[in-house]
Amino acid sequence: MAMIEFSGGKFPVGSIPGELPEPAAPPELPVQEPAAYAGAARIIRIIDAALEQIRPDIEKAAAKYGREKIGVCFGSCDNGAEASLASHRALFAQGAFPENYSLRFQSASYPAEYIAGKFGLSGPVLAIATACASGASAIIRGAELVRAGMCGAVIAGGADIVSQAVFAGFHSLDAISDSLANPFSKNRKGINLGEGAAFFLLDSEENSAVELLGAGESADAYHMTAPITDGAGPAKAMRAALVDAGLTPEQIGYVNLHGTGTAFNDKAEALAMKAVFDEMPPSSSTKPVTGHTLGAAGALEAAICWMVLTEKKGLPVHCWDGVRDEEIPLLPITEAAGKTSAICMSNSFAFGGCNVSLILGGR
């Protein structure tokens, strides 16, 4: 975690250290746009750095199915805040927007189009916006495209950055902690923001080491930002994922909790876990390590579950001060670094009551 200064205080942020490389190749976007933007935008650089790691798999799928049968499902909360802030600073200082600026850079679909253009893909391209569940929602939409036969493979995941606009928004909600996030503790004070990207290549035929066994979604429609207090929405998503996977709660070996460290979210999630599991499985929130990466979080935390299943180095330890909140029902946050799991659940519960639960298993 790095410390950044904002509004007279310093706050921990899960930022990517060092200089991010420029995109490896100029994107072939559907319309002509200044290539300089893609090379300079932080969110595009983060996306590009993540995608380069799975380029061989993407190229293999494109050769097998054809580039018209490879789709993109991208989730994010960003919506061009980075481009908007930079261009408006130039407008205020110089009286005009930069010459290489286009309003399309602020479109929620721009990064998704960039991904398709980067690999010359002409399959379905979807931009997903379900707040902090966006990355997980994108994985579900991608799986649906594959199962429906519309795509042979889909690049699915999410990315986000810590822009000043996002930081200011969460700060105005009193949701930002000035110390390391402390999920489920009586002393919790809020979230640490983070940035990152995670992508999966969902393939209809590839016999990979990890399978998406099931997924569930629900919508509270309870409040714009606060979760429904009894945890009913998150519990519904978890139960739906179990039904989709054909599993019982007892078969889940590890749960990556949404675990933001805010008062209301943690309590609602604890109630949901109690409603679904008679006996709590090993569980932890990894956000004190990564920060809350917003639209990327659902995909990033699914990737952490992927690492649990493939690397078999143990379960992620829950980082907190160990001070239990009496108002939170019994939720054993297990420090289980020596244990392993064959089936993992990853939960993402977002603004507007957008709840997603993914279940991944090793083959």
Q: Which active-site residues does the annotation give?
A: 132, 258, 292
Report which of 177, 185, 133 is spatially closest to residue 1, judged by C-alpha positions.
177
SS3 23: coil
Q: What share of the chain is helix, strand, coil (3-state, %, to 5)?
A: 40, 20, 40
Q: Is 103 exposed, middle or buried (0-12, 13-18, 19+ CB in 10 A)?
A: exposed
Distance CA 293, CA 77 (A): 9
Report which of 162, 176, 219, 235 is spatially closest to residue 351, judged by C-alpha positions.
219
Q: Position of tokens 């061989």?
A: 56
Distance CA 104, CA 81 (A): 12
Write the DSSP string, 184-202.
TBTT---B-BB-EEEEEEE
Cβ contact 65:122 at 8 Å:
no
Q: Position of tokens 């790691």?
A: 53
Distance CA 177, CA 98 (A): 35
Distance CA 77, CA 81 (A): 9
Instruction: Give the Cα-Cα-Cα angle 124, 127, 130 (nearest 5 degrees).
Output: 135
